[in-house]
Chains A and B, each alone.
Chain A
Amino acid sequence: MAKWGMVFDLRRCIGCNACAVACKQENTLPNGMFFTKTLSEEVGVYPNVTRVYIPTICNHCEDAPCERVCPTGATYTREDGIVLVNHDLCIGCGTCVVACPYDQRTRLEPEMLERGLFNNGELTPFEKQGNVRFTAGTVQKCTFCHERVDAGLDPACVVTCPTEARIFGDLDDANSKVRKLIHEHRGRQPLPEKNTNPRVFYID
Chain B
Amino acid sequence: MDLSTQPVQNSMKPGKWVNSTCKMCLHSCVTRIHITDDGVVNKIEGQPTAPSNNGRLCPKGNAAILRHYDPTRFKTPLRRTNPEKGPGIDPKWEPLSWDEALDIVGRELKRTRDEDPRKLLPAINDFQKLFLWAWPAAFGSANYFSSVGNFCGGGYHPMNGFVHSAFAAANDVNYCNYWINNGGGDGFSSHLHVTSAANHMAKARIERNMRVVVVEPRLSIGGAKANEWVPIRPATDRQFALGLCHVLVYEKLYDVKFLKKDTNAPYLVGPDGYFVRNAEGKIYIWDAGDGEAKLWDDPSIKDFALEGTYQVEGKECKPSFQKFKDILRDCTPEQMSEVTTVPADTIRRIAREFAKAAQIGSFIEIEGRLLPLRPAGYNFYRGAQGHKYSAMTNQSFKLVNFLIGAIDTPGGHVGATLDDQMQEIRGGCGMINAGENGMMKTMPHQLHPEVPFSYPPNETHLMGYFPIGVDPGHLTQHTLENPEKYGLNYKPDTMLLCHSNPVWNLSGNREKWFELLRSLRFIVAIDILPNESNEWADIILPAHDLLESWNLTMIEPPHHEGMCLRQPATEPLYDTKSEEDIFNEISERLGILEIWNNIQNFVNGFPQKPELLLDPKTKYGDKEIAERKGKLWNGQDLNWYIEHGHAVTPRKPEKWYRPWEGMRLHFYIEDILAARDDLKKKMEDANVAIRHEWEWYDYQPLPTPKLDPVHEEPQEFDMYAITFKDIQINFGESIGNPWINDIVFKDPVHTSVLLNTATAKAKGLADGDIVRIESPYGSIIARVSSSQGVHPETVCVSNALSRIATQNSAVRLGGGNFNELLPSNLRNTDACSGQPETVAKVKLTKLTTMPAEFMASKSAYAHGRGH
Contact = CB atoms under 8 A, between A and B. Distances in A.
Nearest to A16: B727
Contact of A117 (B728, B738, B748): B738
Interface stretch (B476-484, B667-675, B782-790): B782-790
A26 to B, nearest CB: 5
B309 interface: no
B179 interface: no
A165 B71 contact: no
B746 A44 contact: no
Interface string A122-136: 101110111011000
Contacts of B790: 46
Given A9-B206, A40-B748, A32 B6 contact: no
Given A11-B205, A119-B810, A126-B40, A159 B55 contact: yes
B70 interface: yes
Contacts of A128: 40
Contacts of A153: 11
A45 B789 CA distance: 8
Nearest to A20: B743
B46 A15 contact: no
Nearest to A33: B742
A50 B219 contact: yes
A147 B757 CA distance: 47
A158 to B, nearest CB: 10
Interface string A38-49: 001010111101
Interface stretch (B194-202, B278-286, B797-805): B194-202
Given A11-B205, A25-B10, A27-B9, A16 B229 contact: no
A145 interface: yes
A160 B56 contact: yes
A155 B618 CA distance: 48
A49 B6 contact: no
Interface in A93-152: 117-120, 122, 124-126, 128-130, 132-133, 143, 145, 147-148, 151
Contact of B198 (A11, A47, A163): A163
Nearest to B743: A17
Nearest to B194: A162
A69 interface: no
A181 to B, nearest CB: 11
B188 interface: yes
A21 B743 contact: yes
A12 B224 contact: no
Interface residues of B, number: 77
A63 interface: no
B62 A21 contact: yes
B45 to A, nearest CB: 6
Contacts of A130: 10, 42
Contacts of A125: 40, 69
Contact of B195 (A9, A28, A118, A162): A162
Nearest to B758: A46
Contacts of B6: 132
A162 B728 CA distance: 12
B789 A162 contact: no
B71 A24 contact: no
A21 B71 contact: no
Instruction: State which size class the interface on A falls in.
Output: 35 or more
A80 interface: no
A42 B789 contact: yes
Contacts of B738: 31, 117-119
A192 B195 CA distance: 33
B63 interface: yes
A21 B739 contact: yes
B595 interface: no
Contacts of B221: 14-16, 51, 53
Nearest to B857: A119
A117 B198 CA distance: 29
Contacts of A143: 9
A194 B4 CA distance: 36
A42 B10 contact: no
A46 to B, nearest CB: 4
Contact of A126 (B8, B42, B56, B223): B42
Contacts of A156: 9, 11, 43, 45
B810 A37 contact: no
B371 to A, nearest CB: 28
B370 interface: no
Nearest to B201: A163
Contacts of A124: 66, 69, 71
Interface string B780-821: 000000011110100000000000000001100000000000
B57 A18 contact: yes
Contact of B206 (A11, A18, A21): A11
10 contacts: A14-B225, A21-B59, A25-B62, A25-B65, A26-B11, A117-B739, A124-B69, A129-B36, A153-B11, A160-B56
Given A156-B11, A164-B199, 7 more contacts: A18-B61, A18-B195, A26-B43, A46-B788, A156-B43, A159-B48, A164-B203
The 10 residue pairs across chains A and B that have the minimum distance between CB atoms: A163-B202, A133-B8, A124-B69, A51-B224, A21-B62, A17-B743, A162-B198, A49-B788, A16-B727, A21-B59
Interface of B: 3, 6-13, 36, 38, 40-46, 48, 53, 55-59, 61-63, 65-66, 69-72, 188-189, 194-196, 198-199, 201-203, 205-206, 219, 221, 223-225, 229, 231, 726-728, 738-743, 746-749, 756-758, 787-790, 792, 809-810, 867
